[in-house]
Amino acid sequence: MRTILRVNMSDLSITKEPLPDKWANYGGRALTDALVFTEVPADADPLGPDNKLVIAPGLLGGTTAPNGGRLSVGAKSPLTLGIKESNSGGQVAHSLARIGIAAIIVEGAPADAAARYVLEIGPDGEATLVRHDELAGLGNYATVDELTKGFAEEGRYSTMTNGPAGEMLLPGAGIAVSDPNGYPNRFAGRGGLGAVMGAKGLKAVVVNDAGDAYLEHTDKDAFNAAVKKFAAALREHPVSGTGLPTYGTNVLANIINEAGGYPTRNFSSGQFEGVDGISGETMREITVKRGGNVKHGCHTGCVIQCSRYYVHEDGSYWTKGPEYESAWSLGADCGIGDMDSVAALDRECGDLGIDTIEMGATLAVYMESGKLAFGDGPGALSVLKEIRKGTELGKIIASGAEATGKAFGVTRIPVVKHQAMPAYDPRPIQGIGVTYATSTMGADHTAGYSITANVLAVGGTVDPLKSEGQAELSKNLQIATAMLDSLGLCIFVAFPVLDIPAAFEAIGEMVTAHTGKTWGADELMQLGKEVLTYERLFNTHAGFTAADDRLPAYFYTEKLPPHNVVFTVSDEELDAVFDFVPATAAGMGIS
Amino acid sequence: MRIQLALFASLTQYLPETENGNRLSAHAQLVDLPDGMTVGQVIDRLGLPDEPRIVFVNNRHAPDEYVLDEGERLAVFPPVAGG
């Protein structure tokens, strides 16, 4: 029996409820969406008591499904002002699922805004709120050190922590999730959910699942067979089996740069002359030379192993191996081509608890204002340190790219629905532009990763410089991604799934054997459509219209070198991406 | 003809020996080749492993049959992805 843990911060009560039958097949993003859609008024103040922070492992969380330990965190976003599902690796999803928790709902707001609470969840699922005001203002690393002193000897634990940016209610803030070694270096980073956690007075969640076993399955033998089939496909595919484990996600730097879509100096060029200094190849070389770890999973059961640790010259831990998006945002987008400078910025973002994509884009906008030179790594670090001090500059910066652009008179601000674009320029890679424009999440690459067919020749090929086929590509990827996010599978499984039929079959077989209900391709895709339908309806209720499903105007008029192209997908094509929503909503009985 | 040749990730090791001055970056260098070679012929000549690869000429995807010309840039990647 999966349960919902309801934590009310107004009266500090905690109750356990059975997961409603109608949502028995939901987990992860589907469940956070269903709960936010049902319980949070679309016009709620994102930082007020009516908003709810919902935390949910996927449907396969707590099992041995390869790469099945992703965590969904949902709420109304203080950044986009729409619904948000921010997806994280780390160990918490498995920890929660193993003790039978389908979701945690954190609601209300504490009477004393200065209070800091820690939600402690024991191996039996028993939860308590403990006041820890002494943790106020601590960075994520110091917070975890303090919190886990008492747990370290008791066995397995995992944490979600909120850094100073979230405590200050700043809309760039994310929530840190601990990795298998306890480092708070995985993130539900996007959309300002750290600010929602801060508004609830919740400094941390600690889950101790010592002694709990993996979950039982309806058909154990069939489940294990499907796991074996799925793992074999992940190992067989060259991307998940070789490229990602060897170089990490930052292996993308050179190929996106080669394709002319690597946004440089606030999206003013598609190629960065300093890419060699921050590429995945260089990062691996430096890390190996210094004795750092270059291959591990961000959660147990990961077969791909794309995580790594970036270390100081003496070999000591500095930060997680910056992901492609972070190395780009804090590197190329700011004109910074030095890996140690990027690592220093990544570490500061991680400790402050702030989204690296939003912060890199924000620093680039700030640089364009003339307040700081492009390429000034130490200067960028000084600006980030203003956030911890709580200065006016720090608060503007931590409010994101749009707020910073407006404050400093910059007109070229690369955001959609108030959220900064990630590491692909939508002009020479038009498929990702469709996803940025239409995603319910604001500009988000993971929502529908069209880079696959546009650049990487995974799942077919679609010419990235042309508009033809991009809307259909993005639509299908958005549906499939919403499904994977609900099962708790890492979206990197999509690379083999798009190319190897057995990998896709194995997903249905795992879910069928686990739940006892038959899951084929139709049921899996229906799940994805239901997820997107909740999100589209919430955003419509919150006031979003077709005008919000567009890129900023300059992407249609300013040509990007080296290809010298603009974004050309038509409004009609963008507006057709979610054409399935009315029928799906009618079938779900929601409006 | 002289072209720019760029090989990335696990393929970088196949960059041919070169004189000083021809190296452009960690992954790219100038190479002299007989006129009229195709992408596929260059790949064979380099001895790249027989596995899927992603090929760009002048920052656009190109097939193995593409005939290279003086001054063009050929870039070859093994299958990579991330995000």
For residues A322-347, b (16+ Cβ closer than 10 Å) or e, as one string? bbbbbbbbbbbbbbbbebebbbbbbb
Q: Tell me how many degrees the CA angle A550-A553-A559 measures, rounded to the nearest 5.
A: 115
Query: How does pLDDT run across A40-61, given as a tens digit for each residue?
Result: 999 999 999 999 999 999 999 9
Amino acid at site A366: Y
Q: Which residue has the tokens 């992901």?
A: A323
Determine, for residues B8 and A456 on separate chains, whether the beta-carbon distance falls below 8 Å.
no
Residue A124 has pLDDT above 90, yes or no: no
Supply φ then ψ for residue A18, to 5 degrees. -70, 145
Distance from CA of A562 to the nearest CA of B (A): 8
Kindly state whether residue B67 falls inside one of the protein's structural domains. yes
Residue A207 near residue A95 (C-beta atoms within 8 A): yes
Determine, for residues B83 and A325 on separate chains, whether the beta-carbon distance falls below 8 Å.
yes
- A212 pLDDT band, cuts 50/70/90, is low
Query: How does pLDDT run across A345-402, given as a tens digit for each residue?
Result: 999 999 999 999 999 999 999 999 999 999 999 999 999 999 999 999 999 999 999 9
Distance from CA of B82 to the nearest CA of A (A): 4
pLDDT for position A201 = 98
Share of chain A above pLDDT 90, in %: 96
pLDDT for position A155 = 62
Which residues in chain A are closer than 8 Å to B54, comparing Cβ atoms? 255, 455-457
DSSP 8-state secondary structure symbol assigned to residue A73: E
Task: Give strand pairing partners of A415.
Answer: A420
Chain B interface, best mutation among A190, A240, A244, A254, by max B CB count within 10 A: A254
DSSP 8-state secondary structure symbol assigned to residue A452: I
- A167 pLDDT band, cuts 50/70/90, is very high
Residue A433 near residue A411 (C-beta atoms within 8 A): no
Domain of B73, in residue numbers? 2-77
Determine, for residues B60 and A465 on separate chains, whether the beta-carbon distance falls below 8 Å.
yes
Residue A151 has pLDDT above 70, yes or no: no
- A211 pLDDT band, cuts 50/70/90, is low
The per-residue pLDDT of chain A, averaged, comes to 96
Structural domain count, chain B: 1
| Interchain CB contacts (distance < 8 Å): A and B | 97
Give the whole-angstrom CA distance, residue A389 versus residue A395: 9
Which residues in chain A are closer than 8 Å to B8, comparing Cβ atoms? 254-255, 258, 281
pLDDT for position A150 = 67
- The two tokens of residue A530 are 């239901």
Residues in chain B: 83
Q: Per-residue DSSP letters for A339-402?
A: HHHHHHHHHHHHHHTB-HHHHHHHHHHHHHTTSS-TT-HHHHHHHHHHHHHT-HHHHHHTT-HH
Determine, for residues B83 and A449 on separate chains, whether the beta-carbon distance falls below 8 Å.
yes
Share of chain A above pLDDT 70, in %: 99
For A:212-241, CB contacts with B below 8 A are: 237-239
Of A252, A258, A259, the CB nearest to B83: A252
Helix axes A28-39, A470-487, angle to 10 degrees: 90
Which residues in chain B are closer than 8 Å to A452, comparing Cβ atoms? 81
HSE toward the beta carbon, residue A9, CA cutoff 13 A: 31
Q: What is the mean pLDDT of residues A179-208?
A: 97
The ipTM value here is 0.98
Of A255, A325, A446, the CB nearest to B80: A255
Residue A73 near residue A53 (C-beta atoms within 8 A): yes
Domains of chain A, earliest start first: 3-208 (3.60.9.10), 263-424 (1.10.569.10)
Kindly state whether residue B17 falls inside one of the protein's structural domains. yes
Query: How does pLDDT run across A219-276, given as a tens digit for each residue?
Result: 999 999 999 999 999 999 999 999 999 999 999 999 999 999 999 999 999 999 999 9
Query: How does pLDDT run across A504-560, given as a tens digit for each residue?
Result: 999 999 999 999 999 999 999 999 999 999 999 999 999 999 999 999 999 999 999
pLDDT for position A131 = 97
pLDDT for position B19 = 72
Kindly state whether residue B44 falls inside one of the protein's structural domains. yes
pLDDT for position B50 = 84
Residue A210 has pLDDT above 90, yes or no: no
Distance from CA of B52 to the nearest CA of A (A): 8
Residue A586 has pLDDT above 80, yes or no: yes
Which residues in chain B are closer than 8 Å to A271, comparing Cβ atoms? 59
Kindly state whether residue B83 falls inside one of the protein's structural domains. no
Which residues in chain B are closer than 8 Å to A236, comparing Cβ atoms? none
**Cβ-based neighbours of B36, under 8 Å, separated by 6 or more:** B1, B67, B68
- A152 pLDDT band, cuts 50/70/90, is low
Q: Which residue has the tokens 């063009």?
A: B72
Chain B: residue whose CA lies nearest to A450: B83
- A136 pLDDT band, cuts 50/70/90, is very high
Kindly state whether residue B35 falls inside one of the protein's structural domains. yes
Determine, for residues B81 and A495 on separate chains, whether the beta-carbon distance falls below 8 Å.
yes
- A181 pLDDT band, cuts 50/70/90, is very high
Which residues in chain B are closer than 8 Å to A189, comparing Cβ atoms? none
pLDDT for position A156 = 76
Kindly state whether residue B65 falls inside one of the protein's structural domains. yes
For B:54-83, CB contacts with A below 8 A are: 54, 56, 59-61, 75, 77-83
Which residues in chain B are closer than 8 Å to A449, comparing Cβ atoms? 83
Q: In CATH, what number is assigned to the domain containing residue B67?
A: 3.10.20.30
Query: How does pLDDT run across A452-489, given as a tens digit for each residue?
Result: 999 999 999 999 999 999 999 999 999 999 999 999 99
pLDDT for position B21 = 77
- The two tokens of residue A483 are 């499904």
B27 touching A, CB under 8 A? yes
Kindly state whether residue B24 falls inside one of the protein's structural domains. yes
HSE toward the beta carbon, residue A441, CA cutoff 13 A: 30
Q: How many CB atoms lie within 10 A of CB A570?
A: 10
Distance from CA of B56 to the nearest CA of A (A): 8
Query: How does pLDDT run across A327-345, given as a tens digit for each residue?
Result: 999 999 999 999 999 999 9
- The two tokens of residue B23 are 């190296």
Kindly state whether residue B82 falls inside one of the protein's structural domains. no
Distance from CA of A250 to the nearest CA of B (A): 7
Distance in Å from the first CA to the final CA of chain A: 29
